[in-house]
Chains A and B, each alone.
Chain A
């Protein structure tokens, strides 16, 4: 399984570390990394299993990034990152982002981060290839219409 792993120690209590990661993501997420046309206003993780994970633009538009797979505050969180290699939301693509928070002291928390199933980016490309009979023009047109309808 292809994955990215990170570990960091945060000088903050466990509860606060979890809260800032989940409820305040918009405050720390690098602003230039967004998929919508509008400038990024906020990143939202709905605090429940199957909750949405999405960005909200300055113009109020919303773009899906994925969803919440596991919600176990303040210790563990698993998100589905569903942006493909073209940075389009693909509901059929699920790569997992797991973050665990471990108490080290009253004001110190260890954060273990993993973004896994990266090999699925390749599988998604393979799957899209299966749709080639439809022709890309048609698929992209359909995507565009969906996107326009969703924005309306």
Chain B
């Protein structure tokens, strides 16, 4: 469902690098520098990916002493749920219309 999704929830994970960032954060909290060190992309690119993930409600950042670390937002599953909720609303409305339009053969 990659790029066809609404720009919220899990569309953010359609990009492979972004998914890698997310999956690393699922393992442990990391700073931008630590993330960039383990990925074949620049630090500004990592920051950009983090912004998209943050906007999608998938990761949160917090200050830990002198550094800012990112981690997966445990409420991310809620984002998935609300995305699927909207998808099924649309799908079921379309199903109803199709079933009512069709004649029995």
Report the stretch among B29-37, B44-52, B62-70, B83-91 that lies at the interface: B83-91
- Bound CA span A80–B5, Å: 21
Q: Tell me whether B92 and A27 are in contact (CB under 8 A).
A: no
- Bound CA span A17–B20, Å: 42
- Bound CA span A21–B102, Å: 12
**Residue-by-residue, is A56-92 near B (CB-CB < 8 Å gives 1, otherwise 0)?**
0000000000000000000000000001011100000
Interfacial residues, chain A to chain B (CB-CB below 8 A): 2, 4, 6, 8, 10-13, 15-17, 20-21, 24, 27-30, 32-35, 83, 85-87, 109, 111, 113, 115, 118-119, 121-122, 125, 128-129, 132, 136, 140
Contact of A85 among B24, B76, B99 (CB under 8 A): B76
Q: Can you list 23 residue pairs at the A/B interface with Cβ under 8 Å?
A: A10-B100, A12-B99, A16-B99, A16-B102, A20-B95, A21-B99, A28-B91, A28-B98, A30-B91, A32-B4, A33-B1, A35-B2, A85-B10, A85-B76, A109-B99, A111-B96, A118-B77, A121-B80, A129-B26, A129-B27, A132-B27, A136-B24, A140-B16
Q: Tell me whether B80 and A85 are in contact (CB under 8 A).
A: yes
B14 near A: Cβ within 8 Å?
yes
- Contacts A10-B99, A27-B98, A33-B4 given: A4-B85 contact, CB under 8 Å? yes
Q: Tell me whether B1 and A87 are in contact (CB under 8 A).
A: yes
- Cβ of A4 to closest chain B Cβ, rounded Å: 5
